[in-house]
Structure 1
Amino acid sequence: MLIVLVLFVAGVGLLLLGVHKLHAAVPTCYGKPMSPGDVCEPHTTGSFSEGMPGPQTSTYREQLDNLTSGGWTAIVIGAVLLALAVVLAISFTASTLRERGD
């Protein structure tokens, strides 16, 4: 039953983390907050080696999408862990009831 508790706590934690990340996301450009319409220009120092992509500009929307995608990932994984905890709890309960009935 300990695994059910661990899965439940992890699932709830990930759900809360994901929701917080979606609501608190503020895109930044080199540590400075961005606002809609801003474009983050890369700072280039030195040369880039063969095959390595060079830095690219990114818009406010692109930065925000990068931040919030992690929030959605945490929410989905948290929901899966909660569903798994419920399935395991039902399974453990059913097997315990069967053992007591025999």
Structure 2
Amino acid sequence: MLIPLVLLIAGVGLVLVGVNKLNGAEPTCYGRPMSPGDVCHVQVKGSFGDGMPEPHDTTYQEQLDGLTSGGWTAIGFGVVLLALAAVITISWAATAARQDREY
């Protein structure tokens, strides 16, 4: 019974973290809060190594989308863990009931 309990706790935790991330998302540009319509201009100088993407200016909405995507990912994984905990619990309960009928 420990596995479903761990999955349940982890699932609820991930959902709560995801919801918190969605509600607390505030885009910033080099530490300064942004508001709708703002553009964060790149302040990086120098060359970039192979395989590294070249930095580019980002809008308020792009910054917000980047912040909230992690929240949705956490919620998605949390829901999957909760569903898995339910399936395991139901499976174990059905197996226990079947064994009780056999004896």
User: Is the TM-score greater than 0.5?
Assistant: yes
* Residue of structure 2 in register with 1:55 after alignment: 55
Long gaps (5+) in structure 2: none
* Residue of structure 2 in register with 1:15 after alignment: 15
Task: Give, in whole Å, the separation in 1 of the partners of 2:92 and 2:51.
Answer: 53
Counterpart mapping for 1:1-102 below 5 A: 1-49=1-49, 52-102=52-102
Q: Larger deviation: 58-67 or 28-37?
A: 28-37
**What amino acid is the match of 1:84?**
L
**What amino acid is the match of 1:20?**
N
Task: Give, in whole Å, the separation in 2 of the partners of 1:50 and 1:97.
Answer: 60
Task: Give, in whole Å, the separation in 1 of the partners of 2:96 and 2:3.
Answer: 16
Cα gap change, 1:9/1:40 in structure 2, threshold over 3 Å: closer, same or farther? same
Task: Give, in whole Å, the separation in 1 of the partners of 2:51 and 2:94.
Answer: 57
Long gaps (5+) in structure 1: none
Task: Give, in whole Å, the separation in 1 of the partners of 2:82 and 2:10.
Answer: 8
Task: Give, in whole Å, the separation in 1 of the partners of 2:84 and 2:47.
Answer: 49
Cα gap change, 1:91/1:60 in structure 2, threshold over 3 Å: closer, same or farther? same
Task: Give, in whole Å, the separation in 1 of the partners of 2:19 and 2:9.
Answer: 15
- Please state how far the C-alpha of 1:101 moved relative to its aligned partner: 1.7
Q: Larger deviation: 71-80 or 46-55?
A: 46-55
Task: Give the TM-score normalised by the residue count of structure 1.
Answer: 0.93
**What amino acid is the match of 1:19?**
V
Identity of aligned residues (%): 63
